[in-house]
Amino acid sequence: MDQFAVKVFVRLRPSVLDPAGEATKSASIKLGAEGIKSLRIGKMIEVKIEGNGEDEVRKKIDLLCDRLFANIVIEDYEYSLEKL
Amino acid sequence: MDNFTVGVVVFPGSNCDRDVSWALEGCLDIRTKYLWHESSDLSDVDAIVLPGGFSYGDYLRCGAIARFSPLINALDEFVKSGKRVLGICNGFQILTESGFLPGALVANKNLNFICDDVELDIISSKGGWFNNVDEKQTIKLPIAHGEGRYHCDSDTLKKLVDNELIALRYRNNPNGSSFDIAGITNEKGNVLGLMPHPERACDETIGGTDGLFTLKSLILK
């Protein structure tokens, strides 16, 4: 069995208003930061997982992302995977 | 309807379960039974309410984890048999997460937690949930939510409109919901999800009785 460290990023889809991102953008501008064009907030989920090779682990992570980590009605996801 | 029993589901984090039970038993004389979320035996209840609250602490997303409870897994057959399911607030979120209703509930547009009375237009009486609310077209119910903004894509919205699945719309959209949507039903009409709390509007002493009929509709066949 191989062990992998997976980082899953879940974000609201671009078409979905992100009020928390908008509020944080507004605060960032008040702080004096210049040039912020957009700011959106997502989640990062770290998973350590075992499996027989990368393909098997990707299948497991895809299932988790599609059915639990993200609500694909409103969110997109992507992930990176590193063999430990 | 002497033996008719409404199951009120209790998740870790439910906080409107007792309110629903009080409204049904105290105001409408309808028997209730609490159903722990780990139960999958729904054989002795005739209708089900998923109450408001914060199931599983709303971790990950509202309703996302509740979707995997044994009870929600057992709900599929219950719904297919035509029995009635009412999801209120967090219950509505659970119904969308579990695919019984389309769309999703996301953070309110202004990020405020909104606790207020709102006016709602009754758009469709599919399933009979809002039939004859003293023949009113508009009702007033309380809302209390931070993530109650209904969102769906344009194809889904068209389907909701074309099939008369939109039950309630806000008169003054408080949270930024698509098309002012406050509540929808499934195509069969036996599942209703809504963000307002009918159980908090069942007695004049607490501000109104416009919620009574929706709860009473649980006993409709």
Question: A6: pLDDT confidence band, cut at 50, 70 and 90?
Answer: very high
Q: What span, in angstroms and rounded, lies between the C-alpha atoms of A11 and A41?
A: 7
A-to-B residue pairs, Cβ atoms closer than 8 angstroms: 34
Specify the pLDDT at position B180. Answer: 98
Question: A81: pLDDT confidence band, cut at 50, 70 and 90?
Answer: very high
The torsion angle over the Cα atoms of residues B89, A43, B108 and A66, rounded to 10 degrees, is -50
User: Is position B37 annotated as part of the catalytic site?
Assistant: no
| Chain A residues lying within 8 Å of B103, measured CB to CB | 73
Structural domain for A20, as ranges = 2-83
Domains of chain B: residue spans and CATH = 6-219 (3.40.50.880)
| Chain B residues lying within 8 Å of A17, measured CB to CB | 106, 109, 149, 176
Please tell me the pTM assigned to this model: 0.92
Check CB contact of B107 with chain A, cutoff 8 Å.
yes
According to DSSP, the β-strands at B149-151 and B166-170 are unpaired
Closest by CA to A76, choosing from A12, A20, A17, is A12
**Sheet strand arrangement including A75-83:** A42-51, A2-12, A75-83
Residue carrying structure tokens 């210049």: A34
The predicted complex's ipTM stands at 0.81
B108 vs A19, A68, A74: nearest CB? A19
Residues B153, A19: C-beta atoms closer than 8 Å: no
Say which of B89, B97, B145, B202 is annotated catalytic. Answer: B89
CATH number of the domain encompassing residue A60: 3.30.1280.10
User: Is position B151 annotated as part of the catalytic site?
Assistant: no
Instruction: State the total domains in chain A.
Output: 1
Residues A73, B153: C-beta atoms closer than 8 Å: yes
| Per-residue 3-state assignment (H helix, E strand, C coil) for B149-206 | EEECCHHHHHHHHHCCCEEEEECCCCCCCHHHEEEEECCCCCEEEECCCHHHCCEHHH
Measure B109 CA to nearest chain A CA, in Å. Answer: 6
Q: Which pLDDT tens digits describe chain B residue by residue (221 residues)?
A: 568 999 999 999 999 999 999 999 999 999 999 999 999 999 999 999 999 999 999 999 999 999 999 999 999 999 999 999 999 999 999 999 999 999 999 999 998 999 999 999 999 989 999 876 656 689 999 999 999 999 999 999 999 999 999 999 999 999 999 999 999 999 999 999 999 999 999 999 988 999 999 999 999 87
Specify the pLDDT at position B135. Answer: 62
